[in-house]
Amino acid sequence: MSTPAIAAPRGTRDYLDGDGAALLSCIDIHRRVSSLFGYRHVITPIFEAAELFERGTGTGTDVVEKEMYSFTDRGNRALALRPEGTPGVIRALAADPAVRDIRPYRAQYDGPMFRYDRPQKGRYREFHQVGVEVLGVRDPNIDVEVLHVAWETFSALGIGNVDIRLNSLGSREDRLHYRDELVAYYTPLRDELCEDCRRRLDTNPLRLLDCKTDARHVAAAPILLDGLAADTRTYFHDVQEGLRAEGIPFTVDPRIVRGLDYYCDTTFEFWHSSLNGAQNALGGGGRYDGLAEVLGLPHTPGVGYALGVERLMVIRSELEGIQQGLSPSVLVIALDAESVKHARTCATALRAASVPTALDVAKGKLDRKFRWCERMGVSWCIMCGEDEVRDGQVTLRNLQDRTQERLDMDACIARLAASREE
Ligand code: AMP
């Protein structure tokens, strides 16, 4: 009887072939763009105390209540795989005396996140996010800057037409006032609400606005923006002016809310029309001036965003002409044992000239090696045999039109560079 094969866990995926390169290319681009804005890389653990997310992401959110991978380790500690990046980054930065006093502190992060979500296209149980957080100041210019970094990231990824939906949640007082208004509006409707919303009405009324089932009631609900106090209204006005000054388009959407108490002022989501339905958000974020205190840390205002890398990849893969990362563009083949040294020298020279190069010094039929190239999308072969070693040259074969020529190495590198520009 044969042993059954083990499949990848539901909701996870392997990144094979070009997919691995495509994922890393999105992450690299975000690293490059946020570094250009002065954001420093922060790497935090993939698992944390479960309480960090219970407090930071919030009991009462689906992410914590229904989707978190919580477990007890062998030392009986309650841990969780991180469902999002922000609480870990804040925990690390707001607790570190060496960085706590650097205001603003600009941080960037990326990596895998875990949620027990219902898997479907663009939604996984292990997925990747890239994000930034700016800690230490409450200033509309910083909110604008964070949106600017996201905007430049989309542009560097070749993703146009991102719809920025912007809202303000105002101050804590604004929200307490608004919460009362929502409760007054929803209470007479209780019997018509879905089960989740009946619970939300008692536990976290702001989250009623997230409901897709009771969309009709959401559409007619009172609007928080209408009741903002003067100073929070000015803050929101300044954010909008700043975005206009940077030429970043946005739409004010009063339905973009985050149902947690520590969120305040600016909140936003990034949408894209080529993502469907519930998966149309590329990412989101906002200001969370109360979060550090919820985690038991000194008061540290902050603002940030997270983007879903798999969603960025879906859009990029629909765009033609986006380079999905580098696969080798050349295979160097040693035709016999005596040519291995020459082949190695050639491969080293090509790599030094930034030509992605694979080397094959194994015995074997040339036909097979050419077939390997075809499957890997490699379009050039460099062959080194007795004659090439003797003359200090190589034979360059174009696998597409099957022509070949004898050249010395410099000419070969120039020829390959020219072909990449064609
Ligand atoms: P959130 O922290 O829920 O605001 O999520 C930020 C972004 O992460 C979303 O807009 C998605 O792009 C992405 N995201 C969240 N959950 C998933 C998931 N289960 N699979 C893939 N991407 C996700």
- Cβ atoms of 65 and 59 within 8 Å: the answer is yes
- Check pLDDT > 90 for residue 38: yes
Report the CATH number that the domain containing residue 44 is assigned in CATH. 3.30.930.10
Same domain, 136 and 285: yes
Average pLDDT over residues 183-207: 88
324: confidence class by pLDDT, cuts 50, 70, 90: very low
Q: Determine if ligand 1 sits within 6 Å of the CB of residue 308.
A: yes
- Decide if 152 is inside a domain: yes
- Cβ atoms of 280 and 273 within 8 Å: the answer is yes
Same domain, 394 and 295: no
Exposure class string for 106-123: b at 16+ Cβ within 10 A, else e:
bbbbbbebbbbbeeeebb
Rounded CA-CA distance 388/404 in Å is 13
- Check pLDDT > 80 for residue 358: yes
- Cβ atoms of 235 and 168 within 8 Å: the answer is yes
Domain count, the chain: 2
Picking from 285, 318, 351, the residue at the C-terminal end of a domain is 318
Same domain, 338 and 403: yes
- Give the pLDDT confidence of 63-75 residue by residue, as tens digits: 898 999 999 999 9
Q: Which of 26, 109, 267, 311 to mutate to test the pocket of ligand 1 (most atoms within 8 A of CB)?
A: 311
Q: Provide the pLDDT for residue 216.
A: 86
Q: Which amino acid is residue 95, in one-letter code? A: A
Interval between CA 132 and ligand 1 midpoint (Å): 15
- Among 182, 179, 201, 180, residue whose Cα is nearest residue 190: 201
Rounded CA-CA distance 340/361 in Å is 6
Q: Determine if ligand 1 sits within 6 Å of the CB of residue 295.
A: no
Report the CATH number that the domain containing residue 397 is assigned in CATH. 3.40.50.800
Picking from 318, 341, 359, the residue at the C-terminal end of a domain is 318
Q: Determine if ligand 1 sits within 6 Å of the CB of residue 117.
A: yes
Q: What average pLDDT does the chain have?
A: 90
Interval between CA 122 and ligand 1 midpoint (Å): 9
pTM as predicted: 0.86
Q: Determine if ligand 1 sits within 6 Å of the CB of residue 259.
A: no
Same domain, 258 and 288: yes
- Give the pLDDT confidence of 215-262 residue by residue, as tens digits: 888 888 998 888 899 999 999 999 999 999 999 999 999 888 776 667
Same domain, 310 and 347: no
Q: Determine if ligand 1 sits within 6 Å of the CB of residue 131.
A: no
Question: Please, which residues have CB within 8 angstroms of residue 244's CB and are 6 or more apart in sequence?
Answer: none
- Check pLDDT > 60 for residue 325: no
- Residue 114: give the domain boundaries: 18-170+228-318
Same domain, 145 and 88: yes
- Among 297, 290, 307, 375, residue whose Cα is nearest residue 150: 307
Q: Provide the pLDDT for residue 316.
A: 86
- Decide if 198 is inside a domain: no
The token duo for 178 is 């608004």
Give 171's Cβ-side CA count (13 Å radius). 10
For ligand 1, atom 4, which residue shows the shortest CA distance? 284
- Check pLDDT > 80 for residue 269: yes
Residue 248, φ and ψ in degrees, nearest 5: -100, 115
387: confidence class by pLDDT, cuts 50, 70, 90: very high
Q: Provide the pLDDT for residue 279.
A: 60
- Check pLDDT > 70 for residue 422: no
Interval between CA 69 and ligand 1 midpoint (Å): 15
The token duo for 98 is 């060496």
Q: Which of 66, 69, 127 to mutate to test the pocket of ligand 1 (most atoms within 8 A of CB)?
A: 127
